Structure 1
Amino acid sequence: GYGTAHCSPQDVDVPRIGDELAAARAMRSVARQLMREADSDLEAVGAGPGGAPGPGYGWPYTAP
């Protein structure tokens, strides 16, 4: 993942906060990549969201 943080000229320069923001943004990038992979894998086995109401993941519900 990749993340950056930039300090505005009027902000107090606190490098730790910038580091935390950059790390959080990188983790969010990794999470998005993992979700795209999981979505692709789910669709490949017929368990993707498919536009049906509900949580959108898992095997399709069939009534007993």
Structure 2
Amino acid sequence: AVLGNGKTQMVGRGKARCNPQDVEIPAIGDELAASRAMRDLAGQLMHAADRDLAAVGAVPDLPRTTYG
């Protein structure tokens, strides 16, 4: 998953593997990989927002360690 604003670009990565015993349905693997890439990208965005907030003095009391 790629997100750009014209100045910077973020890339979220995700992958899925099929268990050899599972039925092969490529669309399900694509969905899993895409959702994992978007989750990765969301985490990157939250970290960037935290850094930007800290840069303007708006630091939360307890730093977030998870997002969602």
**Is the structural similarity TM-score above 0.5?**
yes
Q: What is the one-letter code of the residue matched to 2:33?
A: A
Moved over 4 A (4+): none
TM-score by length of 2: 0.70
Query: Which protein is bigger by CA-based radius of gyration?
Result: 1
Displacement of 1:48 in angstroms is 2.0
Percent identity, aligned pairs only, is 65
Which ranges of structure 2 fall in alignment gaps of 5 or more residues?
1-11, 63-68
TM-score by length of 1: 0.74
Q: Does 1:35 align with 2:46?
A: yes
Alignment RMSD (CA, Å): 1.4
Q: What is the one-letter code of the residue matched to 1:13?
A: E
- Of Structure 1 and Structure 2, the greater strand share is in 2
| Matches of 2:52 and 2:61, distance apart in 1 | 13
Deviations 1:1-53 (A, max 9, x none): 111000001111100000000000010111011000000001111112122xx
| Matches of 2:59 and 2:48, distance apart in 1 | 11
Which ranges of structure 1 fall in alignment gaps of 5 or more residues?
52-64
